[in-house]
Structure 1
Amino acid sequence: MIVGTDGSAAAGAAVVWAADEAVRHGRSLRIVHVEQPWVFGLPDVPSAEFTEARAAQSGQALEEARSLAAEGRPGLEVTIENVRGDLIRTLADLAPQGTELVLGRRGHGAFADLLLGSTSLRLAGHLARPVIVVRGGTAPARGEVVVGVALDHNPKAALTFAFAAARARGAQVRAIHVWEVSDAIAPLVRDEQGFIDPLDRLADLMAPWREMNDDVKVVEELSTGQPVAVLTEVSAGADLLVVGSHGRGPLTGALLGSVGHGVLHHAHCPVAVIPTH
């Protein structure tokens, strides 16, 4: 697993989350600090003293992150690496080398835009690996992984990730489909056989997943409302919120999509954005 750090508290939370996740799945952890070749938006032509100071700062951030990751996890293999380059390009190049890329909600400098700026939008959903954005600090286990399920897209990637995450935690999977309606009438969806209740369709979609994962409890839920609002509310009781990168809604041009964009801003727990391409 790969996790980015810049020495901030939010990055520290991401390191701790990634370390726990690596232990759960029996993986090693690679902690990366990206040192960008410019200062205040200008090309970096530093003096020897400045270069030495930046190297010391990077080294301190990495060593602190390694200590956080190793604390209480004696069997975890942890490596640290300082990489000089553009933040987005460097993380995008590194991501395929790991099973997933973990980032903090916000940090110092360019990392401060990981959630609220363009960085997360340019990484989540656009990489060939899951991107997890860790919001807040560590919280007591709640025993549930929530996954948003679309009825008109193949949810295989998101469901595979959600079930693996739930199994590793000993948690249940809550599969939610959110239907946007403007009235109180229960929505219907058309297929080749005619009109069926979307809750039945959700149950049919989840049936093979129940069978393949009979060791994991599954709860199916159909909610009506605005998807981001519903998923945000449910995330308050979850250990992890999993969404696919469909590229739907007003942000159709972006693979992340408006729902993924919205939950990254507002969810109460870590969010895993799973590439469907």
Structure 2
Amino acid sequence: MRHVEGKARPETARSARDDEHIRGQAPYLVVGIDGSESSKAALAFALEEADARGASVRALSVRQPPAVMTQGEKTVLQEQRRMLFETTADGTQKHPGVVLTHELPLGQPVEELARASEHALALVVGRSTTGTHADTRLRSVADGLLHRAHCPVIVVPAV
């Protein structure tokens, strides 16, 4: 507490993340992309936030390791890369001032997104409510990130 004119006032809390950005690290948001409508909504939200905050966006599409490596793995990687670039294309046109990077890490989605969130302002992911198997997986990723991310997690529903 500090005293101002005889009154006690709480100190403003600052996190280590605030100090890192103050020391010169450019602020950024992380967004998880899987090509679903909810991940497109998450991207739109992340780009709006980044634009408003003068931050960049790291778009991650996590590739889970295959049980067995095959010749077709190169094709899978190319398709995932194409999906990532196509999914983000409209957003970059709407927000030309936002620097957007594309990443295709190999691993488990929760772990890779949490790792990428370490110095982020926020981690943005989509959530759908149609009840399909893919939607259940999205919810489990969002739930896992709530426990493992190093920054605030924003879960955006499909529009």
TM range, normalised to the smaller chain? 0.7 to 0.9
Contact 1:176–1:220 at 8 Å: present in 2 too? yes
Q: How far apart in 1 are the matches of 2:139 and 2:92?
A: 27
Q: Does 1:139 align with 2:17?
A: yes
Contact 1:157–1:244 at 8 Å: present in 2 too? yes
Q: How far apart in 2 are the matches of 1:157 and 1:251?
A: 14
Q: Quote the sequence identity (%).
A: 36
* TM-score under structure 2 length normalisation: 0.73
Q: How far apart in 1 are the matches of 2:46 and 2:140?
A: 20
Residue type at the aligned position of 2:40: K
Contact 1:249–1:257 at 8 Å: present in 2 too? no
Residue type at the aligned position of 1:243: V
Deviations 1:147-166 (A, max 9, x none): 00112445332112101111
Contact 1:250–1:258 at 8 Å: present in 2 too? no
* Correspondence list, 1:1-277, <5 A: 137=15, 139-140=17-18, 141=21, 142-182=26-66, 183=68, 186=73, 188-189=75-76, 196-246=78-128, 252=136, 257-277=139-159
Gaps of 5+ in 1: 1-66, 72-135, 190-194
Residue type at the aligned position of 1:161: F
Q: CA deviation at 1:200?
A: 2.2
Q: How far apart in 1 are the matches of 2:42 and 2:134?
A: 21
SS at match of 2:46: helix
Q: How far apart in 1 are the matches of 2:16 and 2:133?
A: 32
Q: CA deviation at 1:205?
A: 2.0
Residue type at the aligned position of 2:115: E
Residue type at the aligned position of 1:219: T
Q: CA deviation at 1:139?
A: 2.2
| Residues 144 and 184 of structure 1, relative CA distance in 2, 3 Å threshold | farther
Q: How far apart in 2 are the matches of 1:137 and 1:250?
A: 35
Structure richer in strand, relative to its length: 1
Residue type at the aligned position of 1:227: P
Q: CA deviation at 1:249?
A: 5.7
Q: CA deviation at 1:251?
A: 7.7
How many residues in Structure 1 have an aligned counterpart in Structure 2?
Answer: 140
Deviations 1:196-237 (A, max 9, x none): 531122112212211111111010111221000000100002
Residue type at the aligned position of 1:179: R
Residue type at the aligned position of 2:52: A
Residue type at the aligned position of 2:83: R
Residue type at the aligned position of 2:117: S
Residue type at the aligned position of 2:17: A
Larger RCO (CA under 8 A, 6+ residues apart)? 2
Contact 2:38–2:127 at 8 Å: present in 1 too? no
